[in-house]
Amino acid sequence: MRWALVKVCLAVTAMVVVAFAVPLGLVVKEMARDRAFSDAERQAATIGPTLSITTDRAQLEKAVLTTEPGAAGRMAVHIPATGEPDGVEVDIGHGHATREELETVRVSGRAAITEVTGGSVLLQPTAVGPEGIAVVEVFVPQEAVSHGVTTAWLMLAGVGVALIVGSVAVADRLGVRMVEPARRLAGAAHDLGEGRLGTRVPEEGPDELRSAAVAFNSMADQVVQLLANERELAADLSHRLRTPLTVLRLNAASLGEGPAAEQTRAAVEQLEREVDTIIRTAREQRPPTQPGGPGAGCDASEVIRERMDFWSALAEDEGREVRLAGVDRTVRIPVARPELAAALDALLGNVFRHTPEGTAFAVDVHHSGDAVIVLVSDAGGGIADPKAALARGGARDAVGSTGLGLDIVRRVAESTGGDVRIGRSVLGGTEVRVWIGLDGQRPPGGGRGHRVGRQRRRRSVGRANL
C-alpha cells in the first residue's frame, strides 16, 4: 500500500507538472520573442521623424548611428528611388532583407518580420514624401529572441522536480502512517492466532485503523474471557465430580479386604487423581470469573436442605453427628442454584475428606436483613493457617487437595459483594463463614455477621443437645 500510494502520487504530480510547465515554458518563449521584436519596433520608430524631415544620406546615417541597433550594425534604412534626384534607391547601413521582401512591405504598407540567417529582421514602412515609402530594417539576432528563455525553463524544471520530490515524500509519510498500524494489526492477529493471548494493538493511526485496533483489542479481550470461562467451567464441573467420588471412596473403604475391594479402592483413587489433574490444568491460565449472572437467584434454604439430605446419608454411614439450623423459611439470594449447591458441596466435601470418621459437623443459616450468612462448622482439628487456605490455590499444597473448593465458595460470595472467613467453631474445629450480600454491600470489617452467626450457632447447638 505504501509504494502504491507513492506511485500514484508520483504519477499525478508528474502529470500536473507537465500540464502546467510545458504551456508555461512555451508562453515564456513567446514572451521573449515578443519582447525582442517590440524593442525592434521601438528602435525603428525613432527613425520615422528624421525620414519625415529629410532624406539626406548624411543626416540619415547620423540618425541611424545614434540608435542602439544602428550603432551595433543591426539597422538599415532603404529609401526609394523616387525620393532621389538621380532615381537610384539609397541603402543606409547593412541590410539583410532581399529586394523582393522590401518591395512587398512597400506595397502592403504593413510591417513584416522575415527569417534570415542568424536571426530575423523587422521591416517597418515609413512614408517619405507624397508617394515614396522608405523601409527601416532592424536585425534581431537569434540570441535576442531567446534571451532568458533557458533560465526560465531551468527554473520551471527545478520547481517541477521539487514538487514531485515533495509530493513523493508526503505520500511516503502518509503511507507509513497508514501501513504501520495495519502491519501492527496483522502482526497482532498472527500472534493471537499462535496463542499469545496477551497481544494487544496500540490504538494509533487514521480513524479507520484506530477503530479496527479498538475492535481487535475488544475481540482479544472477549477471546481471553471466553477461554477463561471455558477453563473455569471445566474446573467447576470436574470439582463437582468429587462429590460422588467421595461417596465412592467411602463405600470402597467399607468393602473390607480382598482383591476386588483393593481394585475398587485403587480405581477410585486413580479417578480422583485424574479429576485433580483436570482441575489443575483448567485453572493454570487465568483467575476465575464471577459465577452466576444478572437475574440469577435461588432459595438458599431449599438448596441447603436438599444437599444436607444427600450428605446426611453419608454422615450416618460414618457415624457423624449432623446439625442443621436456620432453613425453616424461604431465603432468596442472588446466586444461581447450581453455584450455591457446588459451593456447599465443596465445603461439606472438605469436611468428609479432611476430618476423621465420626467427626460431627453443622450447617447454620442466618438472615440478617442485608445479607445471608452460611456457617459450616466441624469438630475436627481445625486449619492451622486460615489465610493460606483462603489464598487462591493456597490449599493445593495439602495432600489430595486442588485448592479449588474454597475458590468456588469465595467466588459465590464475592459475586454478591460478600466474602469468606475461616475461624474456630464452637464445636472445636473449623468454622467457614460465607457472607452472601443481598444488596451488593461489602460485609462490615469487624465481622458483625460472624459474631451473630456464632450466637445463633450456640443456640442451635443448645437445641440439638436438648
Same domain (yes/no): 351, 259: no
Tell me how many degrees the CA angle 304-309-310 measures, rounded to the nearest 5: 100
Sequence-ordered list of residues with C-beta below 8 angstroms from that of 59, at least 6 positions apart, any chain: 50
Same domain (yes/no): 217, 339: no
Cell 506595397, located at residue = 107
pLDDT in tens, 110-140: 888 888 888 888 888 888 766 678 888 888 8
**Averaged pLDDT for residues 331-336:** 88
Would residue 376 count as lying in a domain? yes
Tell me how many degrees the CA angle 407-329-292 measures, rounded to the nearest 5: 30
Cβ distance 182 to 209 under 8 Å?
A: yes
Residue ending a domain, among 249, 270, 287, is 287
pLDDT in tens, 346-372: 888 888 888 888 999 999 999 887 899
pLDDT at 295 (0 to 100): 43
Same domain (yes/no): 231, 342: no
Same domain (yes/no): 59, 142: yes
Residue ending a domain, among 287, 312, 338, is 287
Would residue 196 count as lying in a domain? no
CATH of the domain at 438: 3.30.565.10
CATH of the domain at 31: 3.30.450
Same domain (yes/no): 209, 69: no
Banded model confidence at residue 442, pLDDT cuts 50, 70, 90: low
- Domain around 253: 204-287
pTM value? Answer: 0.41
Residue ending a domain, among 287, 322, 339, is 287
Sheet holding 132-141, edge to edge: 90-92, 75-79, 132-141, 119-128, 112-116
Sequence-ordered list of residues with C-beta below 8 angstroms from that of 373, at least 6 positions apart, any chain: 365, 366, 367, 433, 434, 435, 436, 449, 450, 452, 453
Would residue 128 count as lying in a domain? yes
Same domain (yes/no): 283, 351: no
CATH of the domain at 221: 1.10.287.130
Banded model confidence at residue 283, pLDDT cuts 50, 70, 90: low
